Structure 1
Amino acid sequence: MTATATTTRAPGAIALTVETTPLDDVRQLIPFLDARHPLLWLRRGEGLAGIGTALRLEFTGADRMRAATTAWAEVVSRSSVIDPLAKPGTGLVAFGTFAFADDSARPSVLIVPEVVIGRRDGRSWITRIRPLDNAEMPDRTGADTGRTGSTSGLGAVPNPQPTPFGDEYRLSLLPGALKKDGYREAVAAAVERIREHDLSKVVLARDLVGHLPHESDLRRALVELALGYPECWTFAVDGLVGSSPETLVRVDHGAVSARVLAGTISRGSDAASDHEAAVSLAASTKDQDEHGYAVDSVLAALAPHSSGLAASDVPFTLKLPNLWHLATDVEGTLSDGSTSLDLIDALHPTAAVAGAPTRDAVALIRELEPFDRGRYAGPVGWVGADGDGEWAIALRCAQVSENGDLTAYAGCGIVADSDPERELAETAMKFRPIVEAFG
């Protein structure tokens, strides 16, 4: 079925023309990406790879997600879309990443690529996007590409090809603004505040920093993340790269779902100790309490938008290559026509990345963390023309600047009986994906 929407462009507004066509099955998406500015959303070998930029929208402040919702609706209304596949991720899509804090200096963005190559359920496609007034998109792939005509008036557009990876590199990450001793002190201060005040949980993070060699190929790190953590969302949007295990929200034709993670323990060194670690996590009152706050915050945020919202009474243990998490899946049906952008606005920040109560936890984070989190712990993912989309929480990630500076983040949920030394060790476990991908 072909979906088409066209409107007259108002002065200053952006209008796009979009066409999706099937491809022979593409099993490797990462080689198609730009080495320095990749756009990626991938899990279990399926997802979206974006090339070039047809449109970039930036947002700041407390209403950044609401502003993005409005701007995206306007872009969609002014665009002409031909999408015979009508699958999640086909047609007009934007990759997005949003800052954690309302006052962050790092802008939140929606990026519409010039070309998207997608794969889902064993089927692949290519989507070509350009401003309506442009006769031809520039070739941003850096490859010797062929060109092909289009049935929808797109004219000559690039056929992207996979390109060889750049030279290998190794990067050492060192403590950033919050050193190990400072993190222990921050955890101790948070525990004291929780015991003395009406605060149940706060999530505190620390940072590692490094510098990438000139012209480093970010695709190398993405391959390491995708292969090492196939059950996670491996993402790259505007220099933010990582592999997140936590689905903030997924919207697909009226169905809404989320995966909540809170409560962590290191994997064992052998089968027996690994099983013992999982059992210990499931029995931990501290971790169960931490997890409960996170689940409650997601249910409370989604309830006004969803009917039949359901979550299991008891969390399950989720096994990742380096650790166990307590996890709960939440599912429901949208009842008010909300888009995925509406829902990330309603959900963010969850107790899994801020704490409970949210306002008090965010205030304490601002007091104890000596850095701007940027997009760490904010929503990252994609949205389609119909508002459906998939969004993770930006965890196990690093922000790479244009000059090669890299900042990685990892945090832990602090409750009344948290131990500073154990929480520090947990951050080291959570840094492992990024440290190994770049090291």
Structure 2
Amino acid sequence: MTSLVAAGPLGIPDLVVRTTRIPDPGDLARLIPDGVPSGDVVSWIRSGDGLVGWGRAAQIDTSGTQRFRDAADWWQEVTTSAICRSEVDLPGAGLVAFGSFAFAPDSPSGGSLIVPSTVVGRRGGIAWVTRISDRLEPNPAPDVAPAPIGPGAARFADGALSGEQWTQAVAHAVRGILAGEVDKVVMARDVIAQTEAPIDPRWLIGRLAARYANTWSFAVDGLIGATPEMLVRREKGLVTSRVLAGTIQRTGDDTHDLALAGSLARSSKDLEEHEYAVRSVADALRPHCSSMNVPESPFVLHLPNVMHLATDVVGVLADYTTSLTLAESLHPSAAVCGTPTDAAAAVIASLEHLDRGRYAGPVGWLDASGDGEWGIALRSGQLDPDDPTRMRLYAGCGIVAGSEPDAELAESESKLLPMREALAD
């Protein structure tokens, strides 16, 4: 299904883009054709709306400290040279690229921007299909694909560290915080999933979108998950970021969960962790905004498996910075790294014994105008390109002075639950 458009003399592909309005196509995840290579499937779905796509009309792979900047420069050239016709004037219609980027600049996972050959979108009751290639092509509404087949039974094994080793690393991090070496550090761990049959990305996308409808179910370049955290949205001059930090596991009993939500909202440990994250996001966005609204107190976001302290930071864009460049300026926030950033990153490098790859990095999309949505790749896993029955799952926890290692391990298990459940046949 991959079909890359030939590049012009400067290495920029000459794209022809046609967007047509279509009747409501129903479940977006069911439109992705059977047999598309897992790395060629993209999605961004929340509450039934969003974007799905397949194929590769064009792409760029980047690396190092310039991974965001090189992708942004390439995208500017692509949008300038493309010929676009669209019947829909909404963010995500017309020429669009999906991207994901490594958490750390020295990770071999680097970054990618992918322009699918077909994109289907729906927003506010309006649906469309976009075809992208080197010529103007027919643009019929997509058909519903056969239902994906599950991967069979899944086995889970420790990744870089066992649970006991990881709690020891957390305890080491807490000692560093108490010694004044760092204020907060986010510790990640990985788990290896092995399934009986190949993992169909459509299976994961559909299950995540149904079970966690108020998160953003994403797939880009084999990275699949359901993130509750919007790193940045840029839409018609308005910038929004949803900050999550501070977590408590749900019990399934509504009365008990309400009491837990109240305790979370009063927890000095979780409020401290949350304040660091909000401050880091506001400080990064402020240079790009003419005005900002940063709420004084967080609200409690209820998800099926956990509850989070959440704050929505909103600003009015003062320049022409694209959503991708805004994502670069925000990464890594205190919600996924810690504070101070450099000191927290050094602790992560010394204690995790793990290449996070694109976990906890920006993942999302942008269109030709620069509008787009970029989440943080949380509650996610990376498909193994060499073994279709293998997937590496990730979870992370914010560590502050009051953190208890065993409680953090339990929290990480609750954050792994969405991907574990999605893999269950």
Distance in 1, Cα, partners of 2:332 & 2:310: 17
Contact 1:268–1:277 (8 Å) recurs in 2: no
Paired residue total: 411
Alignment of 1:164-313 (within 5 A): 164-168=146-150, 169-313=152-296
Distance in 1, Cα, partners of 2:332 & 2:33: 31
1:64 pairs with one of 63, 67, 88: 67
Range with bigger deviation, 298-307 or 34-43: 34-43
Shift of 1:9: 4.7
1:413 pairs with 2:416: no
Distance in 1, Cα, partners of 2:137 & 2:269: 60
Distance in 1, Cα, partners of 2:14 & 2:198: 33
Q: What is residue 379 of structure 1 aligned with on the other side? A: 362
CA RMSD of aligned residues (A): 1.5
Shift of 1:213: 4.0
TM-score by length of 2: 0.94
Shift of 1:211: 2.6
| Gap change, CA 1:39 and 1:80, over 3 Å in 2 | same
Shift of 1:156: 4.7
Q: What is residue 431 of structure 1 aligned with on the other side? A: 416
1:310-331 deviation line (CA, Å, top 9, x unaligned):
1110000010001110000011
1:170-215 deviation line (CA, Å, top 9, x unaligned):
3122211111011111100000111113411000011100234444
Contact 2:103–2:357 (8 Å) recurs in 1: yes
Shift of 1:84: 2.7
| Gap change, CA 1:394 and 1:89, over 3 Å in 2 | same
Distance in 2, Cα, partners of 1:210 & 1:266: 22
Alignment of 1:6-85 (within 5 A): 9-35=8-34, 36-37=37-38, 38-85=41-88
Shift of 1:29: 0.8
Q: What is residue 138 of structure 1 aligned with on the other side? A: none
Show structure 1 runs of 5+ residues with no match: 1-7, 133-153
1:349 pairs with 2:332: yes
| Gap change, CA 1:216 and 1:267, over 3 Å in 2 | closer
1:398 pairs with 2:401: no
Distance in 2, Cα, partners of 1:16 & 1:240: 25
Shift of 1:159: 5.7
1:212-260 deviation line (CA, Å, top 9, x unaligned):
4444322112111111100000001111000000000000011100100
TM-score by length of 1: 0.91
| Gap change, CA 1:186 and 1:122, over 3 Å in 2 | same
Contact 1:207–1:408 (8 Å) recurs in 2: yes
Q: What is residue 91 of structure 1 aligned with on the other side? A: 94
Distance in 2, Cα, partners of 1:372 & 1:268: 32
Distance in 1, Cα, partners of 2:46 & 2:413: 24
Contact 2:18–2:132 (8 Å) recurs in 1: yes
Shift of 1:163: 1.6
Q: Which amino acid aligns with 1:339?
A: T
Distance in 1, Cα, partners of 2:169 & 2:95: 44
Distance in 2, Cα, partners of 1:160 & 1:273: 45
Distance in 2, Cα, partners of 1:120 & 1:223: 18
1:290-338 deviation line (CA, Å, top 9, x unaligned):
0000000000000000121111100000100011100000111110111
Q: Which amino acid aligns with 2:11?
A: G
SS of residue paired to 1:374: coil
SS of residue paired to 1:173: strand
| Gap change, CA 1:212 and 1:158, over 3 Å in 2 | farther
Q: Which amino acid aligns with 1:59?
A: T
Q: What is residue 350 of structure 2 aligned with on the other side? A: 367
SS of residue paired to 1:109: strand
1:144-179 deviation line (CA, Å, top 9, x unaligned):
xxxxxxxxxx13567642221243223122211111
| Gap change, CA 1:386 and 1:185, over 3 Å in 2 | same
| Gap change, CA 1:159 and 1:51, over 3 Å in 2 | farther
